[in-house]
Amino acid sequence: MFSISIFARASFGLGLAACTACAGLGKKTEDPPPPQAFYTVTAELALARHQPRVAALQYAAASEHDSDPRLLERATQVAAQTLQPTLEEKLAARWIASEPKSVEARRAAARTALALYKIDPAAAHYRFVLVNSPLGTDAEFAALEIYLAGNDNIFGSRQLADRLAAAFPSSAAALRLQGFTALRADDPIAAVRSFTAALALPDTSGKGDENARGDLLQTLARARIMAGDADAPLTEAQEKLANEDTPANRLEYALLLMTAQQNSAATQQLQVLSHSAEYAPVALRLLGLIDFQEGHLDAATARFADLLKADKYLDDAFYYLGLIADRHDDPEHALRLFAQVQYGENTMPAMLRATTILQAHGAAAAADELLDRLVEDEPLRAPEILTARARMYADAGDSPRAIAVLKRSIEEYPDNVDLRYAMATVYENEGRVRDAMRELTSLLNARPDDPAALNALGYTLADHSLELQRARRLIDSAHAVAPNNAAILDSLGWVLFRQGRAAEAEIYLRTAYKDDRGGDIAAHLGEVLWQLGRSTEAEQIWAEAGAVERDNRLLKATRQRFHASPLPPPAPSSPAPGPSAKPSLPTVH
């Protein structure tokens, strides 16, 4: 009987060989290339079988000697869907050559250039899109704002927005985009400038959208608070509430108080708001988040249980209740709760935490099965899931297996930076510092202007007391691009400490810890304080961070070196995101 699976297996072997010949990756032969349909059929089969790189290579081979715009469009789409930006870059260039006026071809080229941290080409392509799109410039800026908001490349997005704002100096939409990307890149002062300039420009859209203007004013107020100017925005919001006591105004005031880290005052406003039938669910959710972050787990449990009773924010409630059960060392209950997180931003963290629990409690096969299912269900997040799998193996003491997973994953997704950072981390933890340096240096060579890559290599050099002057230069370069990023501030403080400048180091580490109370920064700050003769203060900081990140390897090792007191009760291995959590820089520390 004919078997499609047998055909597929045979086709893949032949297809890869043919692709290699066509693309010039192997020895050329005199045999004629297979027909185009062979490549497209095997590519679609590869997609169905969750073989992303095979699919992208097959479509690239299919379009190698064909200038049909529709084929090039499909090949480019597949390269994008399978997370192969280097292939996508080449295909998009051929698509543009075949169809020079195509806005979609330019958009694809812009996105892949951004993914590869080629900011100037990305800006050039986006300028074409913004000028030539039938939707209009403002609509394209709005679409780009949504796209960049979900893009993990926060520094590249910010640099792209800066270039576009310079190219469209009279566009409020461009300034708005610049402000939002600056805020995500931890530069609230620059965000304030951009938002203020955007609000000063007349509305050219003809829509007169007061809601959009109101939202931007609220974002400006938050940016001002984050930039250190808290009094004026809070006073204005308080006066607005006094003049017009509405639930919406009270919620905005509470959110600004939370931004200013005035959680006690925010709690008072949210408790009042919880008596409003319409606003009670959002108030309960925010109250639960505050209680959770401050370690009031019983109060947080009550808040999230009330949300379940009200049938509101179910995924958030299940997720945080799962974290609380995990913190109380109740893995079975935690797993049941995590399994009920179905939608939203907490779905993936819940599933990944579940795999860690399964692995830690003797159910390694179930953990692997869950990870396999996640890769199939979320192919666009496959590198993240594969990174988590490698981390799970490494934490379990099986570094060879972790390295094997990462090597296979890098072969499948050769442009993914998170996999490369993870590989460097595993190498470093194994004592293979030269291999870690090689990985990070290769990454920096590919992305020389990326502050994340600069910081990762600089920090690793400093942490091992290697080439401290070079480490300082690398970190200074990252700091110049992202002066307020907690991870970079941490690195700057740490290299100063390694250079024997503990008093200066404390300044940067305190600033970093104020923004991110994670275990790594706490470990560094505590060590500096201990060396300055302030051991009690160091232990307080370690205990505070340990309550959230009990499993943090660096924090545990640092406490043990200085014979600090035992860690507090168990907690998840990573802090839960708060209501205004900032993206963390992917470093190896």
Give pLDDT tens digits for 94-105: 999 999 999 999
Q: What are the residue ranges of helices labelled H in 99-209?
A: 103-115, 119-132, 137-149, 154-167, 172-184, 188-200
Residue 82 neighbours by CB distance under 10 Å: 26
441's enclosing H/E stretch is helix 433-446
What are 538's two structure tokens?
């160091």
d(CA 289, CA 301): 10
For the stretch 64-74, pLDDT in tens is: 888 899 999 99
- CB–CB of 535/557 below 8 Å? no
DSSP state of 284: H
pLDDT for res 564:
57
Q: Looking at the predicted structure, is the pLDDT value of residue 87 above 60?
A: yes
Closest C-alpha among 447, 468, 576 to residue 518: 576
Is the pLDDT reported for residue 10 higher than 50? no
CA nearest neighbour of 155 among 515, 448, 451: 451
Cβ atoms of 23 and 58 within 8 Å: the answer is no
153 has a pLDDT exceeding 60: yes
Per-residue pLDDT, averaged over 103-129, amounts to 97
- Where is average pLDDT lowest: 28-42, 180-194, 248-262, 472-486? 28-42
Asked whether the CA dihedral 577, 345, 488, 228 is positive or negative, the reply is negative
Q: Kindly report the length of the chain.
A: 589
The residue assigned the tokens 């204005």 is 236
pTM of the shown model: 0.83
Give the per-residue pLDDT at 432: 94
Q: What is the pLDDT of residue 580?
A: 34
Per-residue model confidence (pLDDT) at position 36 = 77
Interval 509-548: pLDDT, tens: 999 998 888 899 999 999 999 999 999 999 999 998 887 7
Confidence of residue 375 (pLDDT cuts 50, 70, 90): very high
Q: How far is CA 455 from the centre of its chain?
A: 16
Q: How many whole angstroms separate alpha carbon 519 and alpha carbon 524?
A: 9
The whole-angstrom separation of Cα 238 and Cα 460 is 46
Higher pLDDT, 4 or 86: 86
% residues pLDDT > 90 (the chain): 77
What is the average per-residue pLDDT within 189-205? 88
Domain ranges of the chain: 378-446, 448-589
Residue 574 has a pLDDT of 37
Three-class SS state of 34: coil
Question: In this predicted model, which residue has the larger pLDDT, 204 or 55?
Answer: 55
Query: pLDDT tens for residues 157-191?
Result: 999 999 999 999 999 999 999 999 999 999 999 99
User: Contact 292/541 with Cβ under 8 angstroms?
Assistant: no
What confidence score (pLDDT) does residue 23 get?
A: 42
What is each CA distance from 483 to 187, 260, 545, in whole angstroms?
7, 20, 24
The better pLDDT of the pair 257, 20 is held by: 257
Write down the mean pLDDT value for the chain: 88
Determine the 3-state secondary structure of 529 from DSSP.
helix
Asked if 155 contacts 187 with a C-beta cutoff of 8 angstroms, the reply is no
- Residue 50: the pLDDT is 87
Say whether domain 448-589 belongs to CATH 3.40.50.300: no
- Burial class from Cβ neighbours inside 10 Å (0-12, 13-18, 19+) for residue 70 reads exposed
Can you spell out the DSSP letters for 344-372?
A: STTHHHHHHHHHHHHHHTT-HHHHHHHHH
Q: Exposure pattern of 351-379 as b/e (b: 16+ CB <10 Å)?
A: bbbbbbbbbbeebbebbbebbeebbeeee
Among the listed residues 145, 160, 192, 166, the one whose alpha carbon sits nearest the alpha carbon of residue 450:
160
Alpha carbon of residue 506 to chain centroid? 27
Q: Rounded to whole angstroms, how far apart are CA atoms 217 and 443?
A: 39
pLDDT for position 3 = 33
263-294 residue pLDDT tens: 999 999 999 999 999 999 999 999 999 999 88
pLDDT score for 208: 57
CA 343 distance to own-chain centroid: 18
The pLDDT-based confidence of 121 (bands split at 50, 70, 90) is: very high
Contacts of 498 (CB under 8 A, 6+ apart): 462, 463, 465, 468, 471
Q: Check: CB of residue 438 under 8 Å from CB of residue 407.
A: no
Q: What is the per-residue pLDDT for 160? A: 98
Asked if residue 346 has pLDDT above 60, the reply is yes
pLDDT score at 206: 52
Of 331, 190, 300, nearest in space to 579 by CA:
300
- The reported pLDDT for the residue numbered 544 is 87
CA diameter of the chain: 83
pLDDT category of residue 365 using cuts at 50, 70 and 90: very high
pLDDT band, very low/low/confident/very high, at 323 (cuts 50, 70, 90): very high
Fold of 378-446: 1.25.40
Tens-digit pLDDT profile for residues 204-245: 555 557 788 889 999 999 999 999 999 999 999 999 999 999
- In this predicted structure, what is the pLDDT of residue 152? 92
The C-alpha atoms of residue 305 and residue 167 are separated, in whole angstroms, by: 51
pLDDT of residue 586: 36
Q: Which amino acid is at 578?
A: G
pLDDT value for 38 = 83
Burial of 499 (0-12, 13-18, 19+ CB in 10 A): middle
Q: What is the pLDDT of residue 21?
A: 37
Lowest mean pLDDT among 33-42, 403-412, 435-444: 33-42
Neighbours of 15 (CB within 10 A): 24
Tell me how far apart the alpha carbons of residues 122 and 140 are, in angstroms, rounded to a whole number. 15
SS3 at position 315: helix
